[in-house]
Amino acid sequence: MGYDGKRLRRALEQKRAQRDARQEAQAKQREMIYARVPRLREIDRQLRGTMFQIIREALAAGGDPTKAVEALQVENQTLQEEQRRLLLQNGYAADALEETPACPLCGDTGFQGTEPCSCVKELYAQEQNRELSKLLDLGAQTFDTFSFAWYSPHPWPGKSVSPQANMELIFEICRGYAVRFPDYEVQNLFLSGGPGLGKTFLSACIAKTVSNRGYSVVYDTAVQILEQFEAQKFSRDSDGEARDETNRYLNCDLLIMDDLGSELVTPFVQSALYMLLNHRMDKGYHTVISSNLSLEEIKSRYVPSIYSRIAGRYQALFFYGEDIRLQKKQKETGVQQR
């Protein structure tokens, strides 16, 4: 799984801050308990002392320390029983003095072995969703809130099925792609159609679902993505911010590129776009592209190597119907006039 370095660092910083706050709260609670029941402080000090004694006896050179260790263990057990009894008698939980980590899987370290723990992945997803929400309405745009009412159930010129029936099929493919990511039948999607037909809405649905499942997701417009590659090319600092941004596009689990075709096509743009698409396919990363262009228009606009990858390695989903934004505007205007 590919993680964005900036997001992962922020997630780990949050984890450390949570751990520090929890430890501080536990220390304050411990002091309050000690102040109320002073004997518990003494017991705690004795318990720590017996543990050190057990270790020293076990490592002592010469003789058999078994009996001494056993005696210390008995003493330790007696102190623990007294501690539990005093805690319960004074209305505390039996483990009120223990430093219990919030995450039992990683002990609040944030890692299981060399991999980020699930608790950090959850924080990573939150960081990711905050960033995605700057560009997409992740709150309102979900598969559960998608409406087919804006798509006509009647025949559409030149099409074998109605816009509504077509959208029902597209919706199921997009939802299946998101909930089964990365194991859906196809690796990449190409969402093609005019403006206001739901391409960005479904892109947001996919982004949120995949992100919430712990995968790294980057959403951006084709213009911004290709501008970052150009900035990196002409940047004096090859390890700077521009390089970090292009690495995100290259190596995230899912890249969603919006509005392909809105950028100015130059030889550099052609080269950068081919490199991006080819790299992601070679690495097995997933990509969703949305565009107002048809496949034929992609073919005439870009070099053959780009067209062949989109036409051959992406499942094309063709949107058609009436512009939803215009429908909503007309509906609002009609309400105001009555």
Residues whose CB is less than 8 angstroms from the CB of residue 333 and which lie 6 or more positions away in sequence, other chains included: none
Q: Are 75 and 186 members of one domain?
A: no
For the chain, report the end-to-end CA distance as a whole number of angstroms.
55
In a domain, 337, yes or no: no
Between 137 and 19, the higher pLDDT residue:
19
Q: Are 186 and 73 members of one domain?
A: no
- Token match 């780009």: residue? 306
Rounded to two decimals, the pTM is 0.72
In a domain, 21, yes or no: yes
Instruction: Give the C-alpha separation, 199 to 278, whole Å.
Output: 23
In a domain, 333, yes or no: no
In a domain, 336, yes or no: no
Between 255 and 248, the higher pLDDT residue:
255
In a domain, 335, yes or no: no
Q: Is the pLDDT of residue 226 over 90?
A: yes
Q: pLDDT at position 231, please?
A: 87
What does 132-193 look like in DSSP terms, one character per residue? HHTTS-TTT-SGGG--STTS-SS--TT-SS-HHHHHHHHHHHHHHHHHTTTSSS-SEEEEE-
Instruction: Give the C-alpha separation, 36 to 28, whole Å.
Output: 13
Q: What is the mean pLDDT of residues 314-335?
A: 89
In a domain, 73, yes or no: yes
Confidence grade of residue 53 (pLDDT, cut at 50, 70, 90): low
Q: Are 150 and 299 members of one domain?
A: yes
Q: Are 321 and 265 members of one domain?
A: yes
Confidence grade of residue 253 (pLDDT, cut at 50, 70, 90): very high
Q: Are 93 and 146 members of one domain?
A: no
Q: What is the mean pLDDT of residues 19-37?
A: 91
With residue 58 as reference, give the H or E element that holds it.
helix 38-59
In a domain, 125, yes or no: no
| Domain of residue 283, CATH code | 3.40.50.300
Q: Are 298 and 234 members of one domain?
A: yes
Q: Is the pLDDT of residue 7 over 90?
A: no
Instruction: Give the C-alpha separation, 129 to 210, whole Å.
Output: 10
Of the listed ranges 38-47, 194-203, 251-260, 286-295, the one predicted with least confidence: 38-47
Domain count, the chain: 2
Domain span at residue 25?
5-112
In a domain, 122, yes or no: no
Q: What would the pLDDT profile of 93-148 be if each residue is shown by its tens digit? A: 988 888 888 898 898 888 988 888 888 888 888 887 777 777 777 777 889 999 99
Q: Are 181 and 141 members of one domain?
A: yes
Between 68 and 300, the higher pLDDT residue:
300
Q: Are 193 and 249 members of one domain?
A: yes
